[in-house]
């Protein structure tokens, strides 16, 4: 059962070939047996999952099933879950039990999905390798000496290892697409505002966006259909109808114009990864798509702009974690200043502290104009590059990551090199555009991801383009050895 997709599981559940209780127990057993070597989960919720599965079975029996009813799902531990610890991968929130569900969690519950647990992540979503978690690094199931990518590495590893058929993730600068690429699964970052951020603990408010992670584009379409939609509790949510993502999957893509940015195929890209991406583009040509070389001239400014904007917003968002109201509190503080200083010093890890300090500096008097304001101007230039590109093409394609998964610890002592892992994904977040990664090859036994970027609210087209590719290739069906 663990090798079936969400779409296939929905069919067997509704046909009565297996119950949700049996299916849920199967995945709980796999997590118990296999996760010790991966560390993909922070919290597993077997009792609550089986209770939800029983309710799902009753719903299916009554003929009231939705596509996700009875399907086990894992949530990234950045989404608040009522009565279940929500840690954000940090000591700061190790003891925090949310009193409510995030909108995304709420909508999956309403659809009848069964939460089996909360997945590991880089602390407060800050990282590209899942090594900054307070609970230890996640291992890539393709090679446990390598990273799964970050910050949604736990979700990516869980789906790749068949510990869950689907999982939620969040993407601030590539944190869905990069781990999806390194773990050989499909991941989608929707347009900013398409999925509610209410109850999703904030890192950088103008960049964060939740999205689905699964093995196929079809599964991501099913999940996005449940996640997307306006939420009046989220001031950044867009009031716009939700498209029929599943219904658009099989649309013919003959005549589709694909833009290949010359900046995505230059220095820094592993030659073997480049060859895999070029082979994937050739498959699109066979499907009738037209390839056009384009330019995104300000791409080289995306990483420096992001690492001003994101830390600035994180320094503001994380100021609430002070040891007073909830979360970690130091022992025996001498006074209020000592309480703040030690609680934050002991509760946050090194990468979070680094970004808070960078962000506070960038927002300080005398430096705001020089750094933050300039970064926002560059952000507009990057958005304009995409706007001009979409006047010529329908989608933009390129690599999701400059290399395959690197070894645990390989870049841990060099933050700048680590930051460059997201060089191809960050620009879409700065512009607020939707983007996804689909498995498109393997190099040395490790997966390669093809990134597809679309125009605003063009998720249906992205999913269609990805699905058509997956109909003529089988990279998405490959399982890491030992997890088949």
* DSSP code string of 94-147: TT-B-SS--HHHHHHHHTT-EEEEEE--SGGG--SSS-S-TT-PPPBTTBTTB-
Both tokens of residue 393?
């093409």
* Tokens matching residue 470: 């997956």
Euclidean distance between CA atoms 325 and 323, whole angstroms:
6
Residues 6+ apart with CB under 8 A from 434: 188, 189, 190, 191, 194, 428, 453, 454, 456, 457, 458, 459, 462
Point out the catalytic residue in the list 151, 400, 421, 437.
151
What are the structural domain ranges in the chain?
A: 6-252+467-477, 300-378
Closest by CA to 82, choosing from 96, 99, 70, 95, is 99
Token pair listed for 121: 């992540």
Edge-to-edge strand list for the sheet holding 395-399: 41-44, 114-119, 72-76, 166-171, 209-214, 186-189, 435-443, 446-453, 395-399, 257-261, 290-294
Q: What is the pLDDT of residue 413?
A: 81
- One digit per residue, pLDDT tens: the chain, 484 residues? 899 999 999 999 999 999 999 999 999 999 999 999 999 999 999 999 999 999 999 999 999 999 999 999 999 999 999 999 999 999 999 999 999 999 999 999 999 999 999 999 999 999 999 999 999 999 999 999 999 999 999 999 999 999 999 999 999 999 999 999 999 999 999 999 999 999 999 999 999 999 999 999 999 999 999 999 999 999 999 999 999 999 999 999 999 999 999 999 988 899 999 999 999 999 999 999 999 999 999 999 999 999 999 999 999 999 999 999 899 999 999 999 999 999 999 999 999 999 999 999 999 988 888 899 999 999 999 999 999 999 999 999 999 999 999 999 998 888 878 888 899 999 999 999 999 999 999 999 999 999 999 999 999 999 999 999 999 999 999 999 999 8
How far is Cα 23 from Cα 69, in angstroms, rounded to an integer?
12
What are residue 200's phi and psi, to 5 degrees? -100, 115
pTM (predicted TM-score): 0.96
- The 10 Å Cβ neighbour count of residue 410 is 16
Is 20 in contact with 70 (CB distance < 8 Å)? Answer: yes
Which pLDDT does position 412 carry in this prediction?
A: 81
Residue 213 has φ and ψ, to the nearest 5°, of -130, 125
pLDDT on residue 415: 81
pLDDT value for 369: 87
Candidate list 76, 118, 189, 411, residue with the active-site label: 76
Question: Top-level CATH class of 6-252+467-477?
Answer: alpha beta
In angstroms, the CA 440 to CA 164 distance is: 21
- Output the 3-class SS for 291-358: EEEECCCCHHHHHHHHHHHHHHHHHHHHHHCCCCCCCCCCCCCCCHHHHHHHHHHHHCCHHHHHHHHH
Q: How many residues does the chain have?
A: 484
Quick check: is 151 catalytic?
Answer: yes
Catalytic residue among 87, 129, 155, 175: 175
407 is catalytic: no
């Amino acid at each position: 059962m663990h090798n079936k997709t969400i779409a296939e599981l929905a069919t067997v559940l509704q046909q009565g070939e297996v119950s949700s209780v049996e299916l849920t127990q199967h995945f709980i057993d796999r997590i118990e047996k296999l996760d010790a070597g991966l560390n993909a989960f922070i919290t597993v919720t077997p009792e609550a999952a089986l209770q939800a599965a029983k309710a799902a079975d009753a719903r299916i029996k009554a003929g009231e099933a939705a596509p996700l009813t009875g399907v086990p799902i894992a949530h990234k531990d950045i989404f608040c879950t009522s009565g279940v610890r929500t840690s954000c991968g940090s000591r700061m929130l190790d003891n925090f039990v949310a009193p409510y569900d995030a909108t995304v969690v709420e909508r999956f519950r309403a659809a009848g999905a069964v939460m089996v647990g909360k997945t590991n992540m880089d602390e407060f979503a800050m990282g590209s390798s899942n090594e900054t978690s307070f609970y230890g690094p996640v291992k890539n199931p393709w090679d446990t000496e390598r990273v799964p990518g970050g910050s949604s590495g736990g979700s990516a590893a869980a789906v790749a290892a068949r510990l869950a058929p689907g999982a939620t993730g969040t993407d601030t600068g590539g944190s869905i697409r990069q781990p999806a690429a390194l773990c050989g699964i499909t991941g989608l970052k929707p347009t900013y505002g398409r999925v509610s951020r209410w109850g999703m603990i904030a890192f950088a408010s103008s960049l964060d966006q939740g999205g689905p992670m699964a093995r196929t584009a079809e599964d991501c379409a099913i999940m996005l259909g449940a996640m997307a939609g306006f939420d009046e509790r989220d001031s950044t949510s867009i009031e716009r109808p939700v498209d029929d993502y599943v219904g658009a999957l099989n649309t013919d893509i003959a005549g589709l114009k694909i833009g290949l940015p010359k900046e995505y195929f230059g220095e820094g890209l592993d030659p073997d990864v480049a060859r895999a991406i070029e082979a994937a583009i050739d498959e699109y040509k066979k499907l009738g798509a037209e390839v056009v070389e384009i330019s995104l001239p300000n791409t080289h400014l995306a990483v420096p702009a992001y690492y001003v904007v994101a830390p600035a917003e994180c320094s503001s968002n994380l100021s609430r974690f002070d040891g007073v109201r909830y979360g970690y509190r130091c022992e025996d503080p001498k006074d209020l200043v000592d309480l703040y200083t030690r609680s934050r010093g002991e509760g946050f890890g090194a990468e979070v502290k680094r970004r808070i300090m960078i962000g506070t500096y960038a927002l300080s008097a005398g430096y705001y104009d020089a750094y933050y304001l300039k970064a926002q101007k560059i952000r507009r230039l990057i958005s304009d590059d995409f706007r001009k590109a979409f006047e010529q093409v329908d989608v933009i394609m390129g690599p999701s990551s400059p290399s395959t998964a690197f070894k645990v610890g390989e870049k841990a002592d060099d933050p700048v090199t680590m930051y460059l892992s997201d060089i191809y994904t960050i620009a879409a977040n700065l512009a607020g555009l939707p983007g996804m990664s689909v498995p498109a090859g393997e190099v040395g036994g490790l997966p390669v991801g093809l990134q597809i970027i679309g125009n605003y609210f063009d998720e249906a087209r992205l999913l269609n383009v990805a699905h058509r590719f997956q109909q003529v290739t089988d990279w998405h069906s490959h399982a890491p050895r030992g997890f088949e």
